[in-house]
Amino acid sequence: MNGDRGALEIALEAVERAGRPGGCEPWTCRVGSWSLAVVSCAAGPVPAGTVLDEEERISTAFSGSRRAEFLAGRAALRLACRGVGVADIAVPIGALGQAVPPRGVAACLTHKRGVALAVAALHSMPGDSIGVDLEFVSSRNTRLLERVLGPAERDGFSGADLDPVAAVHVCIAAKEAAIKAASVRVSERLRFADISIATISGETLRIQVRGGLALTGVFARKPPWVAALAW
């Protein structure tokens, strides 16, 4: 098993155990050249000391499940940063709507159906970024295939060992992760139309971004979830 796939399997295992006692703890793994910390927290009471007063204040702008997911995301991101040795500081919301990690850290988080998943890694090059996305597999989304994949991408996915339902969710997760990683680098909020999956080989993707930026992506499945990373 390669290290990239192992990292996502760890991420999905973290999602499964998010709501259990002790579930919000960082797991560390390798992803390409990154040393990554992965944390997932369920929406609800978060571990003591993982949400700062400033974040509690920001969360009052939301209500119900959205507020619970916001706080779970901040808790997961903070724990992931701790996992790579970074002390607690506030995680503000950036101009693109993204969580802004501490200087020297590449980090990202995603929310889905009451679960927050966060990843963090130290980086040495300014502008380094990583994106993560989590999708809940639903057969109701099969009609999205032609909307999220262009003709060339559909040809690529047709040769992969994926049924149409899985292909839809892998594509959505991979493009969402790529948008998060690439938007940070180009300082612009990108859209699905700006992202294309150039090749798919096993669980590894080569992703092209409008303007010539190239990213690597990986995905893994553990029903009912699909997760993707891009960097």
Convert the pLDDT of each residue in 59-115 to its tens digit. 899 988 999 999 999 899 999 999 999 877 777 778 887 888 888 899 999 989 999
pLDDT at 126: 62
Question: Among 22, 52, 26, which Cα is nearest to 39's?
Answer: 26
Ordered domains of the chain (ranges, CATH): 3-128 (3.90.470), 134-230 (3.90.470.20)
Q: Nearest to residue 210, comparing CAs of 190, 227, 226, 225?
A: 190
Side-chain half-sphere exposure of 61, counting CA atoms within 13 A: 6
Predicted TM-score of the model (pTM): 0.88
| Phi, psi angle pair for 132, to nearest 5° | -135, 145
The yes-or-no verdict on residue 4 having pLDDT over 70 is no
Q: Which residues pair with 197 in a beta bridge?
A: 207
Is residue 5 scored above 80 in pLDDT? Answer: no
The beta strand positions in the chain, using DSSP E, are 27-31, 34-42, 105-112, 115-122, 131-136, 195-201, 204-209, 213-222, 225-230
Instruction: Tell me what pLDDT residue 208 has.
Output: 95
pLDDT digits (tens, 9 = 90+) for 132-152: 999 998 876 666 666 777 777
Is there a contact between 71 and 55 (Cβ–Cβ < 8 Å)?
yes
